[in-house]
Amino acid sequence: MYEKRSFYEAINFGSGGILKVAVIGTGAVGGYYGALLASHGFEVHFLFHSDFEYVLKNGLLIESKDGDFSLESINAYGKPSDMPFCDIAIVALKSTQNHHLSSILPHVVKKKSIVVLLQNGLGVEEEIAKILPKATIIGGLCFLCSNKVGPGHIRHLDYGSIRMAQLSRNEKPAGITDNLRFIADVFKKAGISVYLEKDLGKARWEKLVWNMSYNGMSVVLNATTDQLMNDPASKRLVEEVMMEVISGARACGFELADGFAQQMLAATEKMVAYSPSMKLDFEADRELEINTIYWRPIQTASNNGYEMKTAAVLARQLEYLDRNNRS
Amino acid sequence: MYEKRSFYEAINFGSGGILKVAVIGTGAVGGYYGALLASHGFEVHFLFHSDFEYVLKNGLLIESKDGDFSLESINAYGKPSDMPFCDIAIVALKSTQNHHLSSILPHVVKKKSIVVLLQNGLGVEEEIAKILPKATIIGGLCFLCSNKVGPGHIRHLDYGSIRMAQLSRNEKPAGITDNLRFIADVFKKAGISVYLEKDLGKARWEKLVWNMSYNGMSVVLNATTDQLMNDPASKRLVEEVMMEVISGARACGFELADGFAQQMLAATEKMVAYSPSMKLDFEADRELEINTIYWRPIQTASNNGYEMKTAAVLARQLEYLDRNNRS
């Protein structure tokens, strides 16, 4: 166990000892977790895009199954250059917007800041590592069902836990580091369940087992998870994609357990009717995260000698639907 | 060349020498070709399903890009047992209705009748061969764009030619037989373009190159052929399915030419915006021909050692959409 006090001091918190947290991308994910942190005493600085003017006047409203709450006056920013340097930068943009990060992060991240990336897909932490070669980067895999339903208005429907792991800077898994434990403690203080993982790569591939099967299929077949599970043809396809992802992970050196697909299927069957994030993006005419959720793992597996053919069919279908949806 | 007169006599036409033709399934395909034959002097007997009462009173109306025409009084039947034996039986049901053929065909087919099957997919002639082990069975592959737009009302939009080949009763292609030439002559007398093929199996697989790519994709992506060709992702998928079908055909012993997929792609790019038959079926809430157009060729190729994986993904997606569309 790390020494909390000395560690807090070691990372040199902002004046007055109040931890400063930046939320880059205040949407369904960043808005929800950021608001929880703010309502539990952390000093949170929120970066907004389209909602900036509205939120300055009206604050942030979180409708949640755990109890509604609002932040009437928040530190809202319309551009990153107005933001202060923060101890923790939570990146919760859609991964389709990650090309903006190189012009955002230098405004909020200082030498000892920790970046916590709450995104789907593969290779997202590595993108940030290119921008911030020496930063501590933690990947968070959210099991969260929340939507942005209006300006500054987030609806948290269910779940909310995060699996976290630190990006390794060498070939070996980073393991459970002090920084990882520290970030987990911060989130836990805001009432968020956090599970720590030793191996970010493995955790990412495990998440892909669910994401690559349900996300694409829910868009292509216009179906919620329960609809996909209740039809033998779509259930079979979901299972085939899952097995493909497990084979892809193994080709890349991540030993996912034999029964992992069956576990995911069983867990999803027990869930309420659920619209995966890509389906919500599609319905809101947002660009789909095809690159990070599909092409990167497909390409990575291919580089390691395994072709994810079924997933590639889904990816191309999604590209067609995405282009036509937004044109 | 065969001797027309003696051949006509040899197959022992109905009294008065007027050729009797049965149309089993008077929809967009059977109604169009049957009406052309009737309007060119053949004695055509039409089997109807839901339109029977309407057609008895109002006849059949063909709107055609080649000129509209109507048959005010036609030989319409609501059940096969009321029909006469005919010299030619044109089967133009949707292949999803082929389980009815064993109770229909014995009412209209006599010993020397010729069955002309105008359907999509693979193995459809073989189904009829099981019902009529000794009959002459000719497969017709229609290049036709027509819809049934109302009771007894068919709209012929474009094209209309038929490639015909005879079902072989042994391992070798049947070749260009006298019966095949005869049927071609009958159709040509009604102004229909007919091209004869020596090898039904090869012709069926060639047609599948188009059908397995565009039909399924047009339903899953809700797109016409031009939309599929204008997007790089869907065009790539179309091409992948085509290459898969060609590989499947080759595994089954049919040597499709190297440039065949490119020919099909180029021909389709020149076509007008086109809704494949499966898309029209889907929009009309009719059962999709997934079994004959997808599963049979997939299974046949698999039996010969080749797995059509992309086509199988489409087939499962279609099954899901079909079930949900009709439930």
ipTM of the complex model = 0.91
C-alpha–C-alpha distance, residues A52 and A83, integer Å: 13
Q: Could you tell me whether strands B109-118 and B86-91 are parallel, antiparallel, or unpaired per DSSP bridges? A: parallel
Distance of alpha carbon A319 from alpha carbon A290, whole angstroms: 7
CATH 1.10.1040.10 placement within chain A: 202-326
d(CA B56, CA B77): 8
When CB atoms are compared, the residue of A228, A237, A317 closest to B221 is: A317
Contact at 8 Å (CB) between B182 and B158?
no
- Closest CA–CA distance from residue A305 to any residue of chain B (Å): 18
Task: Inspect the interface and report whether the beta carbons of A313 and B313 lie closer than 8 Å.
Answer: yes
How many whole angstroms separate alpha carbon B315 and alpha carbon B288?
A: 10
Tell me the C-alpha distance between B68 and B161, whole Å: 18
Residue A238 and residue A214 in contact, taking contact as beta carbons nearer than 8 Å: yes
Q: How far apart are CA B20 and CA B25, in angstroms?
A: 16
pLDDT at residue B16 in the model: 54
Question: Which of B234, B319, B321 is opposite residue A320, by nearest beta carbon?
Answer: B234
Predicted pLDDT of residue B171: 85
- pLDDT (tens digit per residue) in B157-166: 989 999 999 9
Cβ contact, residue pair A323, B231, below 8 Å:
yes
Which residues on chain A place their C-beta less than 8 Å from a C-beta of chain B?
220-221, 223, 227-228, 231-234, 236-237, 309-310, 313-314, 316-317, 319-321, 323-324
Nearest-5° angle of CA B253, CA B258, CA B259?
Answer: 135
Between vectors from CA B294 to CA B292 and to CA B299, what angle results, nearest 5°? 90
Short-list A204, A194, A193, A192, CA closest to A167: A204
Q: Which one-letter DSSP state was computed for residue A137?
A: E
- If interface means Cβ-Cβ distance under 8 Å, which residues of chain B face chain A? 220-221, 223, 227-228, 231-234, 236-237, 309-310, 313-314, 316-317, 319-321, 323-324
Return the number of other C-beta atoms located less than 10 Å from residue B119's C-beta. 25
* Per-residue pLDDT at A273: 86
pLDDT tens over chain B, length 327 residues: 344 444 444 444 444 578 999 999 999 999 999 999 999 999 999 999 999 999 999 999 999 999 999 999 999 999 999 999 999 999 999 999 999 999 999 999 998 999 999 999 999 999 999 999 999 999 999 999 898 999 999 999 989 999 999 999 998 999 999 999 999 999 999 999 999 999 999 999 999 999 999 999 999 999 999 999 999 999 999 999 999 999 999 999 999 998 999 999 999 998 888 889 999 999 999 999 999 999 999 999 999 999 999 999 999 999 999 999 999
Burial of A7 per CB tally in 10 Å (0-12, 13-18, 19+): middle
The CA distances from residue B272 to A26, A77, B241, B268, B281, in Å, are 46, 51, 21, 8, 19
- Give yes or no for a contact between A273 and A225, defined as CB atoms under 8 angstroms apart: yes
* CATH 3.40.50.720, chain B: domain bounds: 4-198
Residue contact A231–B321, C-beta within 8 A:
no
Q: Which CATH architecture has domain B202-326?
A: Orthogonal Bundle (1.10)
The predicted-structure confidence for B54-77, as pLDDT tens digits, reads as follows 999 999 999 999 999 999 999 999
Q: What is the pLDDT of residue A3?
A: 42
Q: Are B105 and B89 in contact (CB under 8 A)?
A: yes
SS3 state of residue B122: coil
- B178 half-sphere exposure, CB direction, 13 A CA radius: 10
Nearest CA in chain A to B240: A313
Catalytic residue, chosen from B134, B207, B235, B279, is B207
**Nearest-5° Cα angle at B188, B183 to B190:** 105
Residues of A whose CB is below 8 A from B231? 319-320, 323-324
Residue A207 annotated as catalytic = yes
What is this structure's pTM?
Answer: 0.92
A131-170: buried (b, 16+ CB within 10 Å) or exposed (e) per residue?
bbeebbbbbbbbebbbbbeebbbbbbbebbebbbbbbbee
SS3 content of chain A, % helix, strand, coil (to 5): 50, 20, 30
pLDDT of res. A171: 86
> For each of chain A's 327 residues, which pLDDT tens digit applies?
344 444 444 444 444 578 999 999 999 999 999 999 999 999 999 999 999 999 999 999 999 999 999 999 999 999 999 999 999 999 999 999 999 999 999 999 998 999 999 999 999 999 999 999 999 999 999 999 898 999 999 999 989 999 999 999 998 999 999 999 999 999 999 999 999 999 999 999 999 999 999 999 999 999 999 999 999 999 999 999 999 999 999 999 999 998 999 999 999 998 888 889 999 999 999 999 999 999 999 999 999 999 999 999 999 999 999 999 999
Which residues contact residue A286 at a Cβ distance below 8 angstroms, ignoring those fewer than 6 apart?
Answer: A94, A96
Structure token digits, residue B66: 């080649």
Q: Is B78 exposed, middle or buried (0-12, 13-18, 19+ CB in 10 A)?
A: middle
pLDDT of B258 reads 84
The nearest alpha carbon in chain B to A319 belongs to B233
Report the alpha-carbon distance of residue A262 to residue B308 in Å, rounded.
25
Contact B323 A233 (CB under 8 A): yes
Superfamily in which the A4-198 domain is placed by CATH: NAD(P)-binding Rossmann-like Domain (3.40.50.720)
CA distance B107 to A257: 60
Contact A94/A281 with Cβ under 8 angstroms?
yes
Write down the pLDDT at residue B75: 97
Strands B194-196 and A86-91: unpaired
In angstroms, the separation between the Cα of residue B18 and the nearest Cα of chain A is: 50
